[in-house]
């Protein structure tokens, strides 16, 4: 698997492009504004075909270029059904620009798989930041694309629309099932590993609450 990454937009969103080099099929994760030009250039340079645009959740800083990337590449948009309305009727509160609507054609659900070439990413439904937040896990290579559920040293806000502290506690506890060596690529900030986050994740699990 090949993995490209770029930090995009006013909230420094991590945009990921993941590809199977043999089939030259790829997906994009969290196509924030402005990422269309970068994605188009990278696809053309490598002769990759974008098969899917995955939204880890529906906040404006993760979906702004969904429609533009879909129109340019012909790729479908994928999201969890509980966040569909955030894509079809995006809220641009606090956004410095308009957020065009996008229409999910693929539903992401717990235990489902995203397949492109020989790559298999398992969908984990991890509510807490929004009702329909998801993570993508590659068991073969030990990679987790965690959206705004798990950050290096913390978790996504639960005081925004769709946030739920109890749901976040439960979602964070799921990461303790993963091996220490799993690399984590969050929706914002630096990458990390499960090993680096395990100590505080265990505290959240044991205390059944988010830490202050």
Which among 184, 156, 165, 161 has a CA at the least distance from the CA of 83? 161
Which among 138, 141, 133, 123 has a CA at the least distance from the CA of 187? 133
Mean per-residue pLDDT over the chain, rounded: 97
Sheet-wide strand order for 192-193 = 113-116, 119-125, 134-138, 143-147, 183-186, 192-193
Determine what percent of the chain is predicted with pLDDT higher than 90. Answer: 96
Q: Is the pLDDT of residue 94 over 90?
A: no
Determine what percent of the chain is predicted with pLDDT higher than 70. Answer: 100
What pLDDT is recorded for position 91?
86
91: DSSP letter: -
Gap between the Cα atoms of 70 and 102, Å rounded: 9
What is the fold of 2-86+110-207?
Metallo-beta-lactamase; Chain A (3.60.15)
Q: Is the pLDDT of residue 92 over 80?
A: no
Task: Calculate mean pLDDT across residues 192-210.
Answer: 98
What global pTM score does this model have? 0.97
Gap between the Cα atoms of 150 and 157, Å rounded: 10
Gap between the Cα atoms of 57 and 71, Å rounded: 20
Condensed to tens digits (0 to 9), the pLDDT of residues 129-182 reads 999 999 999 999 999 999 999 999 999 999 998 999 999 999 999 999 999 999
């Amino acid at each position: 698997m090949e993995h490209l990454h770029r930090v995009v937009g006013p909230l420094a969103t991590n945009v990921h492009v993941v590809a199977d080099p043999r089939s030259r099929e790829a997906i994009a994760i969290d196509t924030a504004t402005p990422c269309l030009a970068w994605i188009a250039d990278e696809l053309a340079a490598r002769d990759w075909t974008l098969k899917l645009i995955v939204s880890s959740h529906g906040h404006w800083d993760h979906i702004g270029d969904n429609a533009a990337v879909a129109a340019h590449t012909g790729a479908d948009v994928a999201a969890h059904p509980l966040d569909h309305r955030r894509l079809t009727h995006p809220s641009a509160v606090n956004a410095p620009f308009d957020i065009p609507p996008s229409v999910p054609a693929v539903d992401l659900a717990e235990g489902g798989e995203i397949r492109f070439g020989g790559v298999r990413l398992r969908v984990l439904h991890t509510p807490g930041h929004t009702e329909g937040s998801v993570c993508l896990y590659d068991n073969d290579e030990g990679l987790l694309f965690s959206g705004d559920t798990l950050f290096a040293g913390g978790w996504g806000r639960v005081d925004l629309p769709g946030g739920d502290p109890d749901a976040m506690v439960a979602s964070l506890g799921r990461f303790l099932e993963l091996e220490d060596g799993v690399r984590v690529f969050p929706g914002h900030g630096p990458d990390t590993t499960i090993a680096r986050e395990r100590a505080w994740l265990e505290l959240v699990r044991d205390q059944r609450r988010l830490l202050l």
